[in-house]
Structures are given as structure tokens and as C-alpha cells.
Amino acid sequence: MDRAFERTKILTNHLLLQSSDPPSSLSSNACLNYSAPEDSENYAFDVKEMRNLIDGHHVEERDWLFGLMMGSELFNPKVRGGKVFVSADYRQSMEQQREKTIKRIEYLQGKGVFEGWLTEKEEEMVLKICASLEVLSIFDHSIMVKVGVHFYLWGGAIKYLGTKHHHDKWLRATENFTVKGCFAMTELGHGSNVRGIETVTTYDSNTGEFVINTPCESAQKYWIGGAANHSTHAVVFSQLHINGTDQGVHAFVVQIRDADGNICPNVRIADCGHKIGLNGVDNGRIWFDNVRVPRENLLNAVANVSPDGQYISPIKNPDQRFAASMAPLTGGRLNVSVNAVYQSKVGLAIAIRYALTRRAFSLNRNEPEVLLLDYPSHQRRLFPLVAKTYAMSFAANYLKMLYRSRTPELIKTMHVVSSSFKATFSWNNMQILQVCREACGGQGLKTENRVGHLKGEFDVQSTFEGDNTILMQQVSKALFAEYIAVRKRNKGFKALGLGHMNKPRPVIPSELTSTTLRCSEFQMDALCLRERDLLNRFVADVSECRAKGASSEQAFIMCYQLGEDLSRSFSERAIFQTFLEAEATLSAGSLKDVLGTLRSLYALTCTEEGSYLRYGYLSVDNGGSVRREITKLCSELRPHALSLVTSFGIPDAFLSPLAFDWIDANSWSSVEA
């Protein structure tokens, strides 16, 4: 009631001010002036140290690449509000955006940005590649996707599905862009269900060639990044039929254009057309009409075909063979995951800087209007998202380290964690960008202010590199399988971070105090309690459905809601674990104190989520205590607002005019210029 009364008072005063006599002239009315937040906000901790912690690696290389882009006219520098900003010009036509994207890539290639990406030792390059793609995505999603498809998907397929002769022939040519590659897996009729793709390849033992065909319209390759204009080669995924037997999905290298850009014989290519975002990427559709490729063009790390047409594979189990063929997708999911985090940083940096300079309504007559970020409601909108973004930053760094050190024994863990984080991060990113857009008011609609436009650019992340809902179903199935396997072995849980299942069931106190709510042990207990209970429920419900005659797939489908809640609980617990580990690396001091507040805010934001009340983990009274504590934490973070987003390390030129002198950026002089 107090907050409602306060709000009514503000609005009443505002209306009284509006009803007073108008000024005799415009010149006598006091105008708003922009005041940079740096003039009034203090840094209570070292923002460089915080940036090193959340970026995690290659900070100098990131800044070098930022500088490289700021120093070239290709990156569209414009002066607004007395500052220079660089951004892709989204007012250009689709064709212009595509050509500008490829020119920017060629410029970066000439500056040595991509040197060693495929030919140097992976453990030495993977983090550098991630850092570079993160920086590129901050400038423009199209350039990051175009580079990512070329290196991670096409290049990754050659590297992980091919063998030495493929590496010798294609990797360096890919690295220097002599060859421009694309990844032809998705079809009009099949996306997530890769096993169901309809492209068919047979083997002609008389000529030693594979023959690739698109047998029907639903088999056309669809959404293939790079195919419409620039790619010269494609890794084509197809059903392989040998001697009348379907051996499943395999990958082939197919040339689709010659060196002059002409489409190759028996290949047809069409444009996917204009999109809600990513128009700098030339997505295309491909049909194959008896396209012949040499036997050597089968990427044969998983399976081979002898010259006389015999199918050979060291992996006898077709399910395991298929899983091995999907290896390149892990790198793609990694790429999507970490770049979603950086778009959240861009949106929050803009929204919070604007909220530190934009005012609305006065508390009392003749007093200055109040900064947006001084309203508790505005803090409540934005600070939980800042905490969520810090949490995702630490989890993204963990995912990158896991990818760099992956071994055959870690393939399952990598798949589950990357699937979980890709879905969670990209969903979170869309939520964060939407809230930031609204927090910027009408200014959030302007393309040059970036936040609103980023929603269209990054919406695709929810469905490419795996539909998020499908990925989360895979996570719940993996947790189910691990549970059953542990029970059969009659040993404790160890994999997938489920070791907490071996401990006694956590108990949430009947009354939650502020001290308890801020305790990291309680926070972890609350997240583990939800995960273990949902896993037990999921196993029980699926098992009951199967006992009643349902197949395994039918049972999983029938229990989809519980499986989705379980997958989200797994993801949030795993993310929180990385937050704790990052916090543990710090010595006592202001940086650790602020990080502890962020950690508590992230944990309680997860705890406030509806499943805690829905499944009875929290009483209504305890739910209220969590809610009130979140409001307190937001208030405590208010003095650190500027330093928290400055720590993201994004140069001013890569934000937007709204984050700085938005009055001057919209002045008449800017129109005349």
C-alpha cells in the first residue's frame, strides 16, 4: 500500500505541475540537460578485474579486434551525440547487407584475424576463436554467423568427420577462404529430426562415385547459411544407400559453385528470402539432381565405402554411429550459447546507462524528476537480469573450458551441458532484450539504439543449432538414463553434476530469514532439492506410463511438462555451481562482496520461479520472503549499476547513442547534419 500511495502522490504532483499556468516563452522554461552517469556514480570495485573475471580469457585480443573494426570505414562509423558509433546499417537492402558482410570478413581475413583457426592445435586456439566470435557478434550477428558457419560447421565437419586426406585438402583452403563452405543438413521437411532427412546418396562402383539426389520437394536443403550467394562447397548430409541397405545419415563434400561463382551442373540453388533478422547471411535452398562426387568426398571418420562398394565402419551400433556424425553440432551450440550472453550484455549496458540519465516524475512539487533507476520497480526489472547475465557469463566460460578439454569420456556430458545452456542462454537473452527494450521506452524502438533490433537478429537462436524445446527434452532423457543406469549399478551418482543425489534430501526451513536466504549453502540446497525431486518424479511418471503399455517415446511425450521443468532445474543448478566456483577464486574485498550480492540475487530469482510453489518446495509465506529479499538485493546493487555494466568491457562505440548523450543525439543539429 505504501508503494501505491507513493506512486499516486507522484502522479498527482505531476498533473498539478501540468495544470499550472504555461510559461510566457519557451526560453524561460528550464530544459533537461544530459549528465553523464560517470559524473555522479562511483566505482566501488575494480571494473577491469571484474571484466577479466567474467570475460575469462583473451581480453587483449578482444580489445585488438574491437579496435580493428573501429578503425575501418567498412564498419560504418557514424557520429551521434558527439561520439562515434559503429554498427551494421540495417536500413540497407538484403543484397547490400550480404555484400557488406562478406567484404568485412575479407577485410578481417586480410588482417590475420582467422589465422590458425583450423590448422593450429585446437586446445591452443579454441578460446581465442570464441573470444573473436563474441566480439564479432557484438558488432553484428550476421558476420558472426557467417564466420561461425564457415569455421565451426563446415570446417568442424571436415575436421571431425573427415580424415587426414580431407584435412590436407580442405582445412587450410577454408582458413584462407579459398574455399567458402556451408553446412547442408536441414531440409524443408526435417530440421531437428536429422535421422529423417530425405536426401539420398547411392554408390556407383563402376565409376567410384557417390550419386546425390533430392528425391522430393521436402528434401530440398533449407536455411543453408552461405548457399544463396557466396559458398563454393557444402558438407551435405544424406541417407546413404549401399546395395539396397540404408546405412543412415552420412556427410559428403560437394562443390556447388566454381571459382567464378557459377552454380555447378546438376545443382539448383534458390534464395530463402528476407528474414526478420540476419539479413547479412545469404540463406539458401539447394536441390541435387544426380550430382556425382568422388568416393573420397565421403567424410569417413565414422564409416567408409570400399572401391567395390562394401560398407565399412568401426562403430557397429547405428545409434552410436549417428551420434558420432553429429559431432560438429556441439561447436555450433557452444557458439550460440556464449554469444547469447554477450547480446544480453549489450542490451543491459544500454538500458542501464539510459536509466541512469533519464528522469520521470517528481516526488514533490518543484523538485527534480527522479532517475528511472532510482525507482524500485525499475531496479526490479533490470538488476535480476544483470545477475542472470553474470551467472551465464561464468557458465559460458565453464562450457568453453569443457569443450576445449573434451575427451571421448566427456562426449555425453558435453552434449547434455551444451544443449541445456544453449536453450537456457538463448531463451534468457530474448527475455532480457525484451525487458531492456521496454525499459528504454519509445527510444527502444529505434534501430540505431540497437536493443529492439537485436530481438529480431537473435530470435533465430531459439531454433537454430537445435530447437530449444527439443534440446531440453534431450536433457531430461539423458538425466532419466543416468538415473536408471545408477540404480542398475547400485552405485552413487557421479556424472552430470548429480553427486548431490547421494546426500540426504535438503530441507528448507519453515521460516526463511534474510541471513538464510543469502547463504550460498541454502541457495544450493534449494536448487538441488528441486532438481532431485523433479528427477525422481520424472522417472516415476515415465516408468508408470511404460508399465501401462506405452513405448519409451510415448512415455516421454506424455511427461513432457515435468521433463521441461526438470531440464530447467538442471540448467539453473549447473549455472549456479559455476557462479560459486568463480566467486571462490576471489579474495575478500569489495569485488567479492558485490559478486556475492549478484549470486544471491540470481539464486533467489531462480527460487522465485513458479515451480517452487507449484511443487510445494516453498510455502506461500516463504515465497513472500524470497520476493522481499530480491527487492532488497536490487536496492543494494543500485550504487554499483554503472560499474556492473562497465565491467562488461564493451567499448562505447559498440553500444548506441541512447547509452550516452541521447539529447544531443536527437537535437536539430543532428537532423541538419
510 and 619 in contact (C-beta within 8 Å)? yes
Which residues are CB-neighbours of 117 under 8 A, at least 6 positions away?
125, 129, 151, 155, 175
Q: How many Å apart are CA 439 and CA 372, to the nearest integer? A: 9
623 and 612 in contact (C-beta within 8 Å)? yes
Residue that has been written with the C-alpha cell 531440464 in this structure: 567
- Residue 361 CB: number of other CB atoms within 10 A? 15
Which residues are CB-neighbours of 278 under 8 A, at least 6 positions away?
141, 142, 145, 457, 460
DSSP per-residue letters across 236-270: EEEEEEETTEEEEEEEEEEE-B-TTSPBPTTEEEE
Q: How many Å apart are CA 441 and CA 444, to the nearest integer? A: 6
Residue type, 406: R
Question: Angle of helix 328-355 relative to helix 376-404, nearest 10 degrees?
Answer: 150
Q: How many Å apart are CA 455 and CA 449, to the nearest integer? A: 12
Q: Look at residues 645, 652, 134 and name the one whose alpha carbon lies nearest to residue 439.
A: 645
Residue that has been written with the C-alpha cell 554499483 in this structure: 640
94 and 277 in contact (C-beta within 8 Å)? no
Residue type, 87: S
Q: What Cα–Cα distance (Å) separates residue 462 from each residue in 315, 336, 588?
A: 32, 9, 39
Q: Look at residues 502, 456, 498 and name the one whose alpha carbon lies nearest to residue 480.
A: 498
Among this protein's residues, is 465 annotated catalytic? yes
Q: How many Å apart are CA 571 and CA 422, to the nearest integer? A: 10
Q: Look at residues 498, 469, 478 and name the one whose alpha carbon lies nearest to residue 564.
A: 469
3-state secondary structure 316-330: CCHHHHHHHHCCHHH
295 and 253 in contact (C-beta within 8 Å)? no
In the beta sheet, which residues pair with residue 284?
224, 271
Assign 587 to helix, strand or coil. coil
Q: How many Å apart are CA 450 and CA 29, to the nearest integer? A: 32
Annotated catalytic residue: which of 465, 531, 564, 572?
A: 465
Q: How many Å apart are CA 635 and CA 633, to the nearest integer? A: 5
Residue type, 148: G
Torsion angle, alpha carbons of 417, 418, 424, 425, to 10? 130
Residue type, 59: V
Can you say how many angstroms the Cα of residue 109 is from the centroid of all Cα atoms in its chain? 25
| 225 annotated to a ligand binding site | yes
| 207 annotated to a ligand binding site | no
The H-assigned helical ranges of 299-375 are 318-325, 328-355
Q: How many Å apart are CA 498 and CA 62, to the nearest integer? A: 35
Catalytic residues: 465
Annotated binding residues for FAD, written as ranges, equal 186, 225
Annotated binding residues, written as ranges, equal 186, 225
